[in-house]
Amino acid sequence: MSIAEKKNVTELVSQDLDGLIELQKKSFRAEGEVTYATRVDRLKRLKALIVENKTAFATTTKREFNGARSYEFSLFSEYASKVEAIDYSVKHLKQWMKPERRKTNKPMNFLGGKGQVRYFPKGVVGIISPWNLPFGLTVAPLTSALAAGNRALLKPSEYVPETAELFAEIVPQYFPEDEVAVVTGGVEISQKFAELPFDHLLFTGSTGVGAQVMRSASKNLVPVTLELGGKSPVVIGRSAKLDLAGTRLTFGKLLNGGQLCLSPDYALVPEELEEQLVARIIHEAESMYPNITENEDYAGVFDERHFMRLQNYIDDAVAKGATLTIVGADKSRASADNRRMPLHILQNVNENMQVMHEEIFGPVLPIMTYGDFTQVPDKIEPRRNPLALYYFGKDRSEQEYLLNHVQSGGVCINDITLHYVQEDLPFGGIGASGMGAYHGPEGFRGMSHARAIYSQTMIDVLPIIGARPPFGEKFRKKISKILGPI
């Protein structure tokens, strides 16, 4: 057994995962009703945790990105937007928690039968998060879990061990262990974690690991929300304002060095507009990031493994005939310690290239072209079920055509990634990009149990329609009204 493996096993024993979940389940059962006031109090403590510790987390994340991570990007994407999400949840929680009246069937409706749906907490929610937004993607699902009245166990990524340790140190200052607790450790711990008998498990990460997590959760029939990745296309229509599309596409592609689940993966552009679009992208990339290797606003590729992966995609594409443009004066990274990779644009790409099938997750942008707009869905199909579909243009019929012919988790028209920060919109994938959704009301509902409650008066209904034995002509007449002659 290697030292790392021994360390993991030791951590596993000392953290006693079974004990932790049992503790939370016991407290959940003992608590009974999770009131509005309790939920708001928990959300406010989570907000305080963010506001009071943002600097410690942001500097830790920057260090774990080898120094190459924009502090301002972190402040917005991982902290400010999460505080806004909490405020939004607090504002709407009372409304979400209200029982919903539902209609009842004839004749029960005439005889006092009443239906309602009430949202109850599920119990204990497990949250597994990735390294790319290590704080935000742990805290955002926790917001939905707490709003819905649950307790939670968090498992941050082993690729950001300092962030995970910081969570383990700071969370107990705001939450007792039976409310929210943190589990740290390597992939073996994550595997054990995914096998725990949670009442719901929310996983954010890659499609391949998502499938493993679902398998683990199935052992206890734990319902899952899977927030996965994919190849999100940017479709440029002929009615697009090309300059604007180029600006927004470039901004979106280079956010966090392309390491976002919603990063635009590749672009599809009308043949005759390709060179104009490429020129705009180059112009924008150079204006936003006049230099790369020392630029504090520009995120580096997270680690050597990912750097080599991206380099392999580029080499493979070039060997198979792609045209490569490296944007800016810095044509390569400055040193082995600085993984800030400039934007690499690939043209003349084809289906034999790895870069057209693997999620890129880095500053590499393949450009595909199309002639007639009806070709677009077939061009996307080999990379089906993306997390996001981006369309630039004013043509309503093109928009509808795409919506009806291409499936995707979400859609953003004339912008990139901004649908993610609209708190009233659900966020989630479809098929290979995930299942279930969170944020806003869908996050609340996804982590709640929508319980059907039907209540009947003391009137004995069934004999009125002859539906209790001995069955007779009255009942047969009633049934034949529904089924025809019997």
Residues belonging to the active site: 227, 261
**Cross-strand pairs, 483:** none
**Residue number with CB closer to ligand NAD (7 or 118):** 7
266: left (phi over 0), alpha (psi -120 to 50) or beta: beta
Token output for 432:
């290979």
Of 359 and 398, which has the nearer Cβ to ligand NAD?
A: 359
Task: Tell me the closest approach of the beta carbon of residue 341 to ligand NAD, in angstroms.
Answer: 17
Q: Is 174 in the site for ligand NAD (CB under 6 A)?
A: no
Q: 205-234 mask for ligand NAD (x: CB under 6 A)?
A: xx--x--xx--x----------xxx-----
CA 366 → CA 191, 197, 266, distances in Å? 34, 42, 5
User: Contact region for ligand NAD (CB under 6 A) — 11-19, 49-57, 83-91, 123-131?
Assistant: 123-131
Look at phi and psi of residue 189 and say left if phi exceeds 0, alpha if psi is from -120 to 50, else beta. alpha
Contact present, 167 and 137 (Cβ < 8 Å): no
Residue 360 within binding range of ligand NAD, rule CB under 6 A: no
Does 204 engage in binding with ligand NAD (CB under 6 A)? yes
What span, in angstroms and rounded, lies between the C-alpha atoms of 474 and 467? 9
Report if residue 131 touches ligand NAD, rule: CB under 6 A. yes
**Short-list 399, 351, 431, 388, CA closest to 231:** 388
Asked if 184 is part of the footprint of ligand NAD (rule: CB under 6 A), the reply reads no
DSSP label at 341? Answer: P
Instruction: Pick from 34, 137, 166, 245 the residue near ligand NAD by CB under 6 A.
Output: 137
3 burial via Cβ count (<10 Å: 0-12, 13-18, 19+): exposed
Q: Does the footprint of ligand NAD cover residue 422 (CB under 6 A)?
A: no
CB of 102 to ligand NAD, least distance (A): 32
The Cα 482–Cα 485 span in angstroms is 9
| Shortest reach from residue 193's CB to ligand NAD, in Å | 6
Closest CA to 200 of 221, 227, 228: 221
Cβ proximity to ligand NAD, 108 vs 267, nearer residue: 267
At its nearest, how many Å lie between ligand NAD and the CB of residue 95?
A: 25
- Our finding on whether 361 is near ligand NAD (CB under 6 A) is yes
Part of the chain binding ligand NAD (CB under 6 A), chosen from 38-46, 189-197, 395-403, 471-479: 189-197
**Can you tell me the distance from the alpha carbon of 297 to that of 299, in angstroms, rounded to the nearest whole number?**
7
**Contacts to ligand NAD by CB under 6 A:** 128-132, 137, 157-159, 187, 190-191, 194, 204-206, 209, 212-213, 216, 227-229, 261, 359, 361, 387, 429, 434
